[in-house]
Amino acid sequence: MEIRLFLLQEPPSMASDRWADAKNLLCVRLDALGDVLLTSPALRALKESTPGRRITLLTSRAGAAAAELIPDVDRVLQYDAPWMKATAPGADASREFELIEQLRNGRFEGAAIFTVYSQNPLPAALVCYLAGIPRRLAHCRENPYQLLTDWVAETEPHDVIRHEVRRQLDLAGAIGCYASDERLALSLPAEADAKAVAALRHCGADLSAPWLLMHPGATASSRRYPPEQYARAAELLFERHGFQTIFTGVAAERELIETIRRSMGVPSYSVAGRLSLAELAAIVQRAPLLIANNTGPVHVAAAVGTPVVVLYALTNPQHAPWGVPQRVLSFDVPCKYCYKSICPEGHHACLRSISPESVVQAAVELHEESLAGRCAAATGALIAGERF
């Protein structure tokens, strides 16, 4: 079998010719919610490049909720891979054999395996190889031999570090697939918005007055801004600028959120643990602004067009908001880009050194810019309407 290092040896047009008749594609992204959303433009590129192409996404339990809302995904398969960090140890390999048989029965004509550069694509490539999928595409650091038919040499992080969205778009581009629109996107059911409105009304906030969302949780402790600093920022936003804070989070983050709220000297509200992902996305879409750690809801905000202030831990540089008005706040430290879920130094300085006052300033400035932009757009639309 011929192995092609095509970014070095052949142009994408030749790879495109080999993939053009592959209408039943498997895409593999076994990470969490945010990672799946950041892959959505690449999925669009694959979908749009061949008329009638269907995309099945194999993803984790955590990623499946997001995958169900991505408009270019036709089918979602859920699988928690034993080679992924977040997966609990399993008793045996029976699930892997079941998956191989399931993929074989799917009669996929090609598989695109999406990873961050620190992950090894070869376990997923082996599964696809054993399932008889004839075309297999991935970034890979070492020679994959027969496991990949289309091998894109891994150049990160030594030669370049790309935004995660760009990395995955480049993988699709290596086989001649490009997106007409590189933004993130979610398709929300109508009932999600109705439930979001009900949740907002139920929490007690006055939505006729200024308000914003704050999401203080994150799966990795190294990416969490200190609760007491979130509390102070929320206090200042209310006292100086009249913004009510509505907190969002999963059920497991309720205690964190209530700790923040108890330490505040001003009113606040919470919808934590009450929402599905679609309902959360609908609330984020309605919000004038989101303040959050570097975590999944930031990418939800990007997908629905909501401006976002990100308290960005310098664990890695690739996951900033994509294609949305933003402020990214961090503090430069010698230990940056550690790629750790727990701060190895124990000081959390890249986040702790961000003052609540700077969070407030960023939020107010971004909100005012967004209002001005919406007013300008509305005025432009009105003038265009009068002309025609």
Please say if the pLDDT value at position 379 is more than 60. Answer: no
What integer pLDDT is reported at residue 387 of this predicted model?
A: 56
CA angle 201, 218, 354 (to 5 degrees): 95
Distance CA 297, CA 281 (A): 8
Please say if the pLDDT value at position 3 is more than 50. Answer: no
Please say if the pLDDT value at position 382 is more than 80. Answer: no
Please say if the pLDDT value at position 10 is more than 70. Answer: no
Please say if the pLDDT value at position 298 is more than 50. Answer: yes
Q: What are phi and psi of 133, to 5 degrees?
A: -80, 120
What integer pLDDT is reported at residue 378 of this predicted model?
A: 54
What integer pLDDT is reported at residue 2 of this predicted model?
A: 41
Distance CA 151, CA 172 (A): 12
Question: Minimum mean pLDDT among 35-49, 73-87, 234-248, 366-380: which range?
Answer: 366-380
Q: What is the pTM of this model?
A: 0.89
The mean per-residue pLDDT over the stretch 356-375 comes to: 90
The mean per-residue pLDDT over the stretch 28-51 comes to: 96
Distance CA 376, CA 242 (A): 24
Please say if the pLDDT value at position 9 is more than 50. Answer: no
Rounded-to-5 percentages of helix, strand, coil across the chain: 45, 15, 45
Considering the chain, what is the average pLDDT of its residues? 90
pLDDT tier, 4 (very low <50, low <70, confident <90, very high otherwise): very low
pLDDT tier, 215 (very low <50, low <70, confident <90, very high otherwise): very high
The mean per-residue pLDDT over the stretch 229-257 comes to: 96
Q: What is the pLDDT of residues 311-350, one digit of tens each?
A: 998 888 889 999 999 999 998 888 888 888 888 888 888 9
Q: What residues contact 226, with CB distance under 8 A and at least 6 apart? A: 348, 351, 352
What integer pLDDT is reported at residue 11 of this predicted model?
A: 57
Q: What percent of the chain has pLDDT over 90?
A: 75
Please say if the pLDDT value at position 127 is more than 60. Answer: yes
Q: What is the pLDDT of residues 46-72, one digit of tens each?
A: 999 999 999 999 999 999 999 999 999
Please say if the pLDDT value at position 5 is more than 50. Answer: no
pLDDT tier, 13 (very low <50, low <70, confident <90, very high otherwise): low
What integer pLDDT is reported at residue 68 of this predicted model?
A: 96
